[in-house]
Amino acid sequence: MKEFLAQLVRNAPPTSQGRNIAREYLQARLLQALQHAGAMISLAFHGGTALRFLYAIPRYSEDLDFALEQRREFYDFRKYLRTRTQSHFAQ
């Protein structure tokens, strides 16, 4: 994946867009990994990145914003990050 990201940045226009393209790629991969792990069942994806991914609004946001849809006693988001994303990003 490192080589793929380096290639994305190299092929980007000469402005700072290369970094943004790489970040957006990583955001998409992280969202995909969380979806496969079942983490998104209880979460609402919102904020600037959600607007860009879901509605193709031309804005860029560096963070991923989530909210729990229902109040729960305990939701261990780190569990999903540790277990699924490590194997997902190793590909």
pLDDT band at residue 64 using 50, 70 and 90 as cut-offs: very high
DSSP letter (8 states) at residue 60: -
Is residue 59 very low, low, confident or very high in pLDDT (cuts 50, 70, 90)? confident
Number of helices followed by number of strands (H, E) in the chain: 5, 2
pLDDT tens figures, 10-47 = 777 766 677 788 888 889 988 988 888 888 888 899 99
Environment class of residue 18 by beta-carbon count within 10 Å: exposed (0-12), middle (13-18) or buried (19+)?
Answer: middle
Question: Contact at 8 Å (CB) between 61 and 24?
Answer: no
Question: Which pTM value belongs to this model?
Answer: 0.71
Give the chain's length. 91
- Helix %, strand %, coil % of the chain (to 5): 65, 10, 30
